[in-house]
Amino acid sequence: MNSFWNGKRRFVALLMFLAGVFVALEVPPVIPFIQLPGENFPAGYNIPFTDIRITNTFVAAVIVWILLLLFVVYVIRRRPQSATEVPPGGFYNMFEMLFEGLMGFVGGIAGGRHFRLIFNMFMTIFLIVLVANWMELVPGVDTIGFIHPHVKEKYDAETDKYKVVTTDGFEIYQGFLGISYVNGQCDWISPADEAAADDAALVQAQAAALAAEQALIEDAAYARYQAAHDDHGDEEQGDHADEASDDHGDDHAEEVKESDAAAAAYNDVLAAREAEKQARAGRGCYTGVAPAPWQDGYTGDDKSAKKDIPLHPDPSSEEAKLVPWVVLPFVRVASTDLNMTLALGLISFVMIQYVGFKALGIGYLTKFFNFSTLFKSPLGGIDVAVGLLELIGDFAKILSFSFRLLGNIFAGSIVLFVMSFLVPILPWPFFILEFFVGVIQALVFALLTAIFMNLATISHHHDDDHDHAEAH
C-alpha cells in the first residue's frame, strides 16, 4: 500500500483532487430531471429494425452485459489450466477468494444435489445486480447526455388542437467547442410568469403603501385622542385660536409624513423585486431579467409572451431561449428502472418453480394445492388455506424482489444528485455509502433467490420424506 502511493502517484492524486475542487466551484452541478421510467432517446434512436425507442436504462443494461462478458473472458484466460500452475496475482486472486467464500456461504444454506444450480443462479444474479448498482458511482452516468427541451404537447379542447406547453427546466449556454451546457444557476422562467411576478410585485407595493398610510392614520388619531383627554380643564379660553392654527399645521405635517411613509413602503417592495431580477442577471440568466413596468427601458411589448413555443428548437438558436432545458442522460443506472428489476424478479420466480419441479416432480404442486387431508382430518381446511397462502406468497415474491431493489437504488441515486448539488466538493461519504448499499442489495437479491430455491426442493409432507429416505 505504501509503495503504491510513493513517487508520482501522490502528486497525480493531489492534482485530481484539486481539479475536482476547481470544477465543483466553477461549474455548478445540475440536478437531473428525476422520473421513475427510463427516458427515451430523441427521435431517430430506435432499436434496429423496430419502432421501439432506445432508453438510457436499456443502454446501461447492455453495458452491464458487455462488462460481464469481458469479465468472463478475463477470468477464463487468467484461470490456471492445471493444478501445478501458480495462480496469477492481483485482481484474479481477489475474485477467486470472493468466489470460494460465497460458494462456502451458499453451500451452508443450500447444500445438496441441487447446490450447483442454486449457486450458479446466485452468482449470476449477484454479479448482474452488483455491476448495475455500481454504475451510479461512475462519473458521467446520469449527468452527461442530450440537451433536451422540457416541453410537451397538450390537447386543447377549445381549439381542438395540440399545443406545446413548457414545464420546469434550466437555461442553457454554449461552451467549449460549441457544446451546450445546462446552467444550473438559472431556472428557466417563461415571459408570462415573469410578467405575472412583476404584476404581483406592483400589487404588493400598492398594498404596502396603503397599509403604511392606514398605520399612520391610526397612530395620529390615537395621539389626538390622548391629547384631547389630557389636561383639557386647565387650558385658558384665549388659547383656542392658537390651538386651531397649530392643529392645521400638524395636519399638514401628518399628510406629508403619510405620503413619505407610503412612498417608502411602495419603493421597498419594488426594490426587492428589482434586486431579485438583478441577482439573476448577475448569474448570467436571460429569463426573468426583462425590465418591469416601473423600470427604465420597459417598452410594454408583450409579443414575447405570445410567441409560439417550439417543440424541437435548436440549442444554438434564439429559439432556445423560449423553452426550458434538461439533461437527458446517455446512461442511467439500470437498477432504477422497474423493467430491469421486474425482469430479474420474474427470472427468480421462474427458477424457484423450476428447481421445485425438478426436485419433487408433480408433487411440488401439493405445496400450493394440498387437498389430501381435506376429508381426513378436521384440520384439513387449514392445509388448503395454507397452500393458497403459499401460492399468493410466491407471486408476492416478484413484487418484493422488484420494488426492494428499485426503491433502494433509485433513492440512492437521488441522494447522490442532491448531495452533489448541495455539497459539490465533499460528497464522498455518500458515494462510499452507496458503494456498500450496492453490494448489500445485490447480496440480498441473490441470497433470497438461493434460499427460496432451496426451500422449493424440500417436501412439506413427512410421509414423502420418509418414503424418500427408505428408497435410499
| Percent over 70 (pLDDT), the chain | 83
Is 90 exceeded by the pLDDT of residue 342? yes
SS3 145: strand
Mean pLDDT, all residues of the chain = 81
Is 70 exceeded by the pLDDT of residue 469? no
**What was the pLDDT predicted at 112?**
81
Q: Where are the domains of the chain?
A: 28-143+331-462, 191-230+241-307
pLDDT band with cut points at 50, 70 and 90 for residue 333:
very high
SS3 293: coil
Distances (CA, A) of 453 to 125, 348, 444: 13, 9, 14
**What was the pLDDT predicted at 340?**
93
Between residues 278 and 223, the one the model is more confident about: 278
Does the predicted TM-score (pTM) go above 0.85?
A: no
**What was the pLDDT predicted at 211?**
86
Between residues 406 and 32, the one the model is more confident about: 406
Q: What is the mean pLDDT of residues 276-282?
A: 91
Between residues 472 and 442, the one the model is more confident about: 442
Task: Provide φ and ψ at 149, rounded to 5°.
Answer: -70, 125
Between residues 15 and 406, the one the model is more confident about: 406
d(CA 326, CA 320): 12
Is 60 exceeded by the pLDDT of residue 175? yes
**What was the pLDDT predicted at 92?**
83
Q: Are 146 and 328 in contact (CB under 8 A)?
A: yes
**What was the pLDDT predicted at 407?**
93
Between the ranges 92-96, 149-153, 402-406, where is the mean pLDDT highest? 402-406
* Tens digits of residue pLDDT in 212-267: 888 877 777 777 778 777 655 555 544 544 444 445 445 544 555 557 788 888 88
Find, among 304, 289, 34, the residue nearest to 171 by Cα.
289
**What was the pLDDT predicted at 101?**
92
| Percent over 90 (pLDDT), the chain | 28
d(CA 1, CA 416): 29
Cell representation of residue 422: 448541495
